[in-house]
Amino acid sequence: MRIEFVPADSQAGATAALAVLAYEAAALSPEAKAVNDAAGGAIARAAAGGRFIGAKGQVLDILAPAGLDAARVVVIGVDGAGVVEPETAEIAAAHAYNAVKTSGVTELLLKLGGDAETAARVAFGVRLAAYRFDKYRTTEKAEKKPSVATVKVAAADPAKAQKAFAALEPIADAILFSRDLVSEPANILHPEEFAARVKGLESLGLEVEILGEKEMAALGMGSLLGVGQGSVRESQLVIARWNGAADKSAQPIAFVGKGVCFDTGGISIKPAEGMEDMKWDMGGAAAVAGVMHALAGRKAKVNAIGVLGLVENMPDGNAQRPGDVVTSMSGQTIEVINTDAEGRLVLADALWYTQDRFKPKFMVDLATLTGAIIISLGNDYAGLFSNNDGLSEKLLAAGEAEREPLWRLPLPKAYEKQIESPIADMKNIGGRPAGSITAGLFLQRFVNGVPWAHLDIASTAWRKGSTDPTVPDGAVGFGVRLLNRLVADAYEG
């Protein structure tokens, strides 16, 4: 699909759909009024006859209106009284694209008003909404495939809008890269392949280092390595570095991702129903890869580290057993009560390695860690746990700004008794009560004084029945926008 910025007076052709806006009580935008007049009042009549009131996300679709060359006109409701903010335009553009993507029209002209920044966000919304992971489909019927090949965004100053979009396009690329990683089946995206794809980002200017099992064993990463010992695929630790600050030696910021490329649960095996979803148990690592892609793509003025712990959790004859004791890189020992609480074992060594080697300003880890977070927060909020109020506030603000909301939960010291072990320094699971919290308390033991936040994204990494038009069902790429915004707002010098 091609995206173009065109003059504001551009017209839709015979094979095109035209999208315009409506506000509260079906009040028409200037662009919609012009279309309504040219079509002899067709929009007003259709709105009255179809109970269209301009509510946010409401769509009015008019086929072949008289007086226009356009194949159809799509009116998108945005509420409000006529001021269209960039975020509103982004969402409206996504709704417009989704309304016509398989309709048969080959072109979509978006006349949504606003300045250059707004026009850029319109294009950004379409890029995200048009995501489709279809590389393995070979027999899909033509009528189910998107027909829109060109999207034209009307702008008062197309060149200025194009320049504004150039700053957003690397972020869109990064989100789609993350979605692709999460969407891939586990027989394709095993740890070595995941590592290789991140290595490919060196073309953007990242420095990427990959540690195999031999190197991790030498570092004492018994916690991470224990998870992957039942798989024929070698575990990997990927370190991606972006040195974009003026001072290349300045203290970096750090992101750490859980990358369980497939999670059977190991010997504590999961039920068969729904296990196929566990291909996306590497959503945290995909988000870290995505944000490093974004920072490099837009040449962010910051030094940043991304560390990805990549494993498969499989139940063969060499697999880790419930009751095993492993020694982490920190020297702390862990009794493995449940082999399906494996993500925290991966992160334990990845977090310690990151702080020990890079001495970052802060660490944020992302992980599809607990089903309990879904019970706690539903499917729209990710859980935030942190030892630092300032970092938490910045993350909460970034999440709100980017429609990737977080909800902070406590880390009460009293709950640590749930992860006490009779034979080791700790055990890897604390039972059903406060399961997401005890997981956060476990991770906190591998954070040695560094400002740290843990984002449990099990609730948000994958969507079914998405309510955000920029997020098709499936992989979300959750965390890329949020962390990019965090860096842009608070850490670029």
User: Per-residue DSSP letters for 427-478?
Assistant: ES---STTHHHHHHHHHHTT--SS-EEEEE-TTTSEESS-SSTTS-SEE--T
Catalytic (active-site) positions: 270, 344
CA distance 229 to 326: 12
Query: What are residue 325's DSSP bridge partners?
Result: 335
The three-class DSSP label of residue 128 is: helix
Q: Rounded to an integer, what distance in angstroms lies between the CA atom of residue 192 and that of residue 190?
A: 6
CB 369: neighbour CB atoms within 10 A?
A: 31
Helix (H, G, I), strand (E, B) or coil at 162: helix
What does the block give as tokens for 16?
A: 């095109």
Burial 66-77 (b: 16+ CB within 10 A, else e): eebebbbbbbbb
236 to each of 205, 293, 473, 490, how far by Cα in Å? Answer: 21, 19, 29, 31
CA distances from 459 to 133, 161, 350, 405, 427 (A): 21, 35, 22, 11, 24
> Residue holding tokens 């309304």?
99
In this structure, is the dihedral angle defined by the CA atoms of residues 456, 364, 483 and 254, taken in order, positive or negative? Answer: negative
Q: Cα separation of 56 and 246, whole Å?
A: 43
Gyration radius from the chain CA atoms: 24
- Residue 406 φ/ψ, nearest 5 degrees: -120, 155
3-state helix, strand, coil in the chain (%, to 5): 40, 20, 40
CA 255 to CA 240: how far, in whole Å? 10
HSE-CB at 448 with a 13 A cutoff on CA atoms is 16
Query: What six digits make up the tokens of 232?
Result: 């024929």
